[in-house]
């Protein structure tokens, strides 16, 4: 009986339904309605890159994605030497990045509102020359 390679295991049992990467993951069919890559594809891509024995750039080219994107996913997932991916950490980092983007956008909006209100307050606080007669 042949043993399954350790690169197809997850520490997170909630992703046990994600099949191991048999071949090269296909990036064309792995996007949601907004164009973002789906989580199972990202995990399969990291596992493939760790197990294929190719350079990160060659593995990314095989899948049809940017090597920088694959590098970011690999850093987030931190597969160990055997290719085991800590999926719970991978999900947590994705959520934290999304939250950070939302907070930065909110900060930018609030800064613009504050600057506008400062200018409006300065305009209305300035005395007029005409006045009433």
Q: Dump pLDDT digits (tens) for 50-100.
A: 888 888 899 999 888 999 999 988 887 776 666 666 667 777 877 888 899
CA-to-CA distance for 7 and 79, rounded, in angstroms? 9
Give the per-residue pLDDT at 48.
Answer: 86
Whether 53 maps to a domain, the answer reads yes
Residue 132: the pLDDT is: 58
Q: Report helix, strand or coil for 66.
A: coil
Does the pLDDT at position 22 exceed 70? no
Query: Cβ atoms within 10 A of the Cβ of 70, count?
Result: 21
Does a structural domain hold residue 4? no
* Integer CA distances (angstroms), 12 to 16, 47, 82, in order: 7, 14, 16
Given a cut of 90, whether residue 120 has pLDDT beyond it is yes
Beta-carbon-side half-sphere exposure of residue 116 (alpha carbons within 13 Å): 6
pTM above 0.85? no
If you search the block for the tokens 């995990």, which residue do you land on?
43
Question: How big is the chain, counted in residues?
Answer: 133
**What domain range includes position 98?**
10-125
Q: Is residue 1 part of a domain?
A: no
Is residue 27 assigned to a domain? yes
Q: Does residue 37 sit within a domain?
A: yes
Q: Of 60 and 13, which is predicted with more confidence?
A: 60
Percentage of residues of the chain with pLDDT beyond 70 = 74
Q: How many domains does the chain have?
A: 1
pLDDT surpassing 50 at residue 6: no
């Amino acid at each position: 009986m042949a043993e399954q390679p350790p690169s197809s295991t997850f520490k997170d049992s909630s992703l046990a339904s994600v099949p191991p990467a048999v071949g090269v993951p296909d990036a064309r069919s792995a996007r949601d309605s907004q164009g973002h890559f789906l989580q199972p594809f990202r995990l399969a891509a990291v596992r493939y890159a760790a197990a294929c024995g190719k350079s990160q750039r060659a593995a990314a080219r095989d899948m049809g994605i940017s090597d920088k994107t694959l590098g970011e996913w690999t850093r987030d997932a931190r597969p160990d030497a055997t290719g085991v991916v800590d999926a719970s950490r991978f999900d947590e980092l994705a959520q934290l990045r999304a939250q950070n983007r939302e907070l930065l956008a909110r900060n930018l909006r609030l800064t613009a509102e504050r600057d506008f209100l400062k200018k409006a307050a300065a305009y209305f606080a300035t005395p007029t020359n005409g006045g009433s007669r």
